[in-house]
Amino acid sequence: MATNFFESFPRISYTLDDYDSEQVVVDIFKRVIISKEYQENSSFYETYEVLHGETPEDISYRFYGTQNLHWLILMVNNVIDPRFEWPLSEENLFKVVSDKYGDEKNVFTINRAVNAKGYQVETFFVLDEESTHKDPIRILFEDNDVDAINTPIAYQTSNTIVQFESNFEIEQNKNEGYRNIKILKPEIVQEVLTNYKKLIRT
């Protein structure tokens, strides 16, 4: 069953000196995606929550008995760049967020607030509980005291519990969103691999 990612890729001739010399290289621009039939049929998959620090190689070994199918885990979940589309460890997440926002003070600066329905603050405006996506009703945010986190805040028309989120929490929530993935069931992996090899070689 085990198939290395580049094993089935076609080879092409490549030159850097106007064909005075050539070398055969792997055509890395080839790409195959999972067909719509497989993507939309839940019977082909089971869901899985990626553990902290777990890699695609770890999951490949857990489900398929080999690390060589880590690329299949990524392909099934439409992950192009696992550096940014795979859940990071807390340590790596903090480093990425620090690089993005600067010093530690900026990392934990309050960025936004959302109400119980998940509507986001726009500067110092939040959306009323009666809002819909098509008809957003804004309420003036009368108290910008960030110490009032998770407590009822006075608004012009109602009392609404607002959840404040720092830059780190926003990136953390985004990171957690990558944690729930789909795993192709082992009994149909061979069929997918066979089709993959045919397509990648054409």
CB 127 within 8 A of CB 137: yes
Q: Which residue has the higher pLDDT, 2 or 52?
A: 52
Euclidean distance between CA atoms 111 and 160, whole angstroms: 18
CA nearest to 169, candidates 85, 91, 97: 97
Asked if residue 132 belongs to a domain, the reply is yes
Shared domain for 100 and 151, answered yes or no, is yes
Kindly state the percentage of the chain with pLDDT values over 70. 70
| Domain containing residue 113 | 91-173
Give residue 64's pLDDT.
95
Distance CA(57)–CA(73), nearest Å, equals: 9
> Averaged over 44-71, what is the pLDDT?
93
Question: Which sign, positive or negative, has the C-alpha torsion 104, 105, 108, 112?
Answer: negative
The answer to whether residue 68 is domain-embedded is yes
Q: Which residue has the higher pLDDT, 122 or 118?
A: 118
- Tell me the per-residue pLDDT of 138-175, one tens digit each, with 9 for 90 and over: 665 455 554 444 443 434 344 555 677 888 988 998 99
What pLDDT was estimated at residue 32? 73
Domain co-membership, 120 together with 137: yes
173-198: per-residue pLDDT in tens? 899 999 999 999 999 898 888 887 78
Q: Count how many domains the chain has.
A: 2
Q: What tokens appear for 89 in the block?
A: 């460890």
Please indicate, yes or no, whether residues 78 and 120 belong to a single structural domain of this protein.
no
Mean pLDDT confidence for 60-65: 95
For residues 121 and 145, state if they share a domain: yes
Is residue 4 one of the residues assigned to a domain? no
**44 and 95 assigned to the same domain:** no
Distance of CA 61 to the CA centre of its chain: 21
Cα distances (angstroms) measured from residue 123 to each of 7, 112, 113: 52, 8, 9
Q: What is the mean pLDDT of residues 88-97?
A: 88
Residues 153 and 191 in one domain: no
Mean of per-residue pLDDT scores for the chain: 77
Same structural domain, 49 and 105: no
For residues 146 and 77, state if they share a domain: no
Query: Is residue 70 domain-resident?
Result: yes
State how beta strands 125-127 and 138-140 pair.
Answer: antiparallel
Give domain status of residue 67, yes or no. Answer: yes
Is 5 a domain residue?
no
49: how many CB neighbours lie within 10 A of its CB? 10
Q: Is residue 104 domain-shared with residue 126, that is, in the same domain?
A: yes
- 68 & 46 share domain: yes
